[in-house]
Amino acid sequence: MPRKKERRNVLTTCAKRKKRMLPTVLLIRPELADELYDKILNIVVVQKKYRDADYSAKDLAKELQTNTRYLSAVVNSRFGMNYSCLLNEYRVKEAQHLLTDKRYADKNVEEISTMVGFANRQSFLCCFL
């Protein structure tokens, strides 16, 4: 287990990135960026692709019929974070919901972390705490 200082640094990685994220100069037309943004929301949030621990930026770019560079530019500029942080944000929100839902009271933390798309318990704990 990491020492307390190291652990604190790991736990706040996405939060720090979000705060220091510089405005991204989009390499694509604003209309296309808007279209990709809407499609990203649909795929990641509505279809809940964040639940798939193996769903990569490359997979999403392929589904959007674009490249990872454009995808990254849209995610960084429109969501204010990188792709991993975006997925983890939705995973944590769903985990919080499931952990307080009485219908899932029989599930342990590891089972819930797997249900929401974390590859392992450590990743979940790092993002959740």
pLDDT value, residue 118: 96
C-alpha–C-alpha distance, residues 49 and 24, integer Å: 25
Number of Cβ atoms within 10 Å of the Cβ of 2:
12
Under the phi-then-psi rule, with left for phi > 0, alpha for psi from -120 to 50, and beta for the rest, what region is 77? alpha
DSSP state of 49: G
Answering whether pTM is above 0.85, one says no
15-63 pLDDT, tens per residue?
555 555 444 445 678 899 999 999 999 999 999 999 999 999 999 999 9
